[in-house]
Amino acid sequence: MPVPPKRRSQSKGKRGRSHAALVKPVLIKCPKCSRPTRPHQVCPACGSYKGKERIKLKMKKKKENK
């Protein structure tokens, strides 16, 4: 296997990875339930998008204590 003619310096290697940094996700408030959600996505809490219900979510049944 051939060997590359020149190694990349540390600074060039780090500059190449400059786009790989982690970014904080953008969150907005849902207009219906006021929970944080990603923009242009259906709210995972209430299933609404742009103020209208888009998907029906199954509600968890509460256990009654006897």
Residue 2 lies in a domain: no
- Average pLDDT of span 33-49: 89
Residue 45 lies in a domain: yes
Residue 65 lies in a domain: no
The verdict on pTM exceeding 0.85 is no
Which residue, among 35, 55, 60, has the nearest Cα to 45 in the 3D structure?
A: 35
Structure-model confidence comparison of residues 58 and 38, the more confident one: 38
Domain holding 50, by residue range, is 23-57
- Average pLDDT of span 4-28: 87
pLDDT above 80: residue 52: no
Q: What is the pLDDT of residue 60?
A: 60
Phi (first) and psi of residue 49, to 5 degrees: -140, 125
Q: What is the pLDDT of residue 36?
A: 93
